[in-house]
Amino acid sequence: MPMNHAFRTKWAEAGYRSTCGSAAVVLPPPKKFLRVYHLTTTDHAISNIGLSRIKLARFSDLNDPFELLAVNFREREVRTVVRDFKSTYDSHTGLLCFSADWTNPVLWSHYGQKHRGICLGFDIERSLAEKVRYEDERLLAELSDNEQPHEIDKKLQKLLLCTKYRHWHYEEERRVFVKLKEAKREGSLYFYPIDEQLRLAEVILGPQCDLPIDEVRDLAKARHPNAITFKSRLAFKFFSVVPMESTVP
C-alpha cells in the first residue's frame, strides 16, 4: 500500500505524535496495545523473526552504568542498600527495551548496527510497559527508621527502575520487566516469546541495510502474517530517518 498521510490523524487520536515514523505507513494499534520499536543488528533481527522470540537484557549488561543507581549517594547506608538492590534485582529480573519511535538517527547509530541493522516494531499490552523518566539530577532518598535492612520501599524501587540521566532522552525508552524464571533460557541467555502480548507489527530495514527486502518480507510474512516490512532512508530536509516510500507494501 502507498504512503497514506491520512493515517496521521488516526495516530494523533490514539495519543501518538502524528510525526511518528510509521504514522503514514500503517494504522496505529488497538487501544489495548502500545506500538514500540526495538533496533538491533540484522543477525539478531532475523533470528528474532524466525524463532519468534526476543532476548532479555540484563541490568548488569546495559550500556548505562548508572542503571538502578539514580539515587544521590550522600549517605553510606543509602549507597549500600541501593547497590544491594541492584545486585539482587539483576539476579532475578531482566527487561525488554524499546523506543517510542524509530526516526532518530542516533538510535540507528547506537543500536541499529550503524544504520545497517533492522528495527522491529511491536505492539505490547499497555499494562506491561513502563515509561522511562529522564532527570538532570540524581534522586534524593532517605531510609526511614522502620525500614528493614537492605530494603527500599516500592515507590523508590519503581523510580530506580525507570529513571535515567537527561542525556539519554533521545531513546524515549519504554521498558517491560520480566522475571527470569518466566523466560526461556538458552545457555546464559534468556528470551521472551513474540506472541499475543508482544506482537510483531513492523520490520524496518535500516538506510544502509543490504539484506534483500523481499527475502526479509517473505520470512516475516511466513512467521508473522500481519507484520509489514519496508526499508528506511535518510530524510532529505531534516536530521531524521524516514520510510523509503517505494518499499512500503
For the chain, the domains span 7-57+96-135+169-247
Residues with Cβ within 8 Å of 182's Cβ and at least 6 positions away in sequence, in order, are: none
Distance CA 246, CA 68 (A): 43
- Written as nine digits, the cell of 4 is 497514506
Identify each DSSP E strand in the chain by its residue range.
33-40, 53-55, 93-99, 118-125, 130-131, 133-135, 163-165, 173-179, 184-186, 189-193, 198-205, 228-234, 241-243
* Sheet hosting strand 33-40, strand order edge to edge: 130-131, 173-179, 93-99, 33-40, 118-125, 198-205, 228-234, 241-243
pLDDT of amino acid 143: 58
Grid coordinates of 107: 538510535
For the stretch 47-58, pLDDT in tens is 999 999 999 999
At residue 205 the predicted structure's pLDDT band, cuts being 50, 70 and 90, is very high
pLDDT tens, 111-161? 999 999 999 999 999 999 999 999 999 998 765 555 455 568 888 899 999
Residue among 132, 134, 47, 51 at smallest CA distance from 96: 132
Q: Is the pLDDT of residue 35 over 90?
A: yes
Indicate the average pLDDT of the chain. 94
Cell, residue 29:
494499534
CA distance 92 to 213: 38
Question: What's the rounded Cα separation, in Å, for the pair 152 and 178?
Answer: 20
pLDDT at residue 152, rounded to an integer: 82
CA–CA distance, 2 with 25 (Å, rounded to integer): 7
pLDDT at residue 148 in the model: 54
Give the whole-angstrom CA distance, residue 238 versus residue 234: 8
What does the alpha-carbon distance between residue 103 and residue 240 come to, in Å, rounded to a whole number?
A: 5
Residue 74: predicted pLDDT: 78
What's the pLDDT at 144?
55
CA 190 from centroid of its chain's CA atoms:
16
The structure's pTM equals: 0.94
Contact 68, 89 (CB under 8 A): yes
| Tens digits of residue pLDDT in 163-182 | 999 999 999 999 999 999 99
Nearest Cα residue to 99 out of 30, 38, 160 = 38
Out of 65-79, 135-149, 204-218, give the one with best mean pLDDT. 204-218
Banded pLDDT at 237 (limits 50, 70, 90): very high
Q: Percentage of the chain surpassing pLDDT 90?
A: 86
pLDDT computed for residue 154 by the predictor = 87
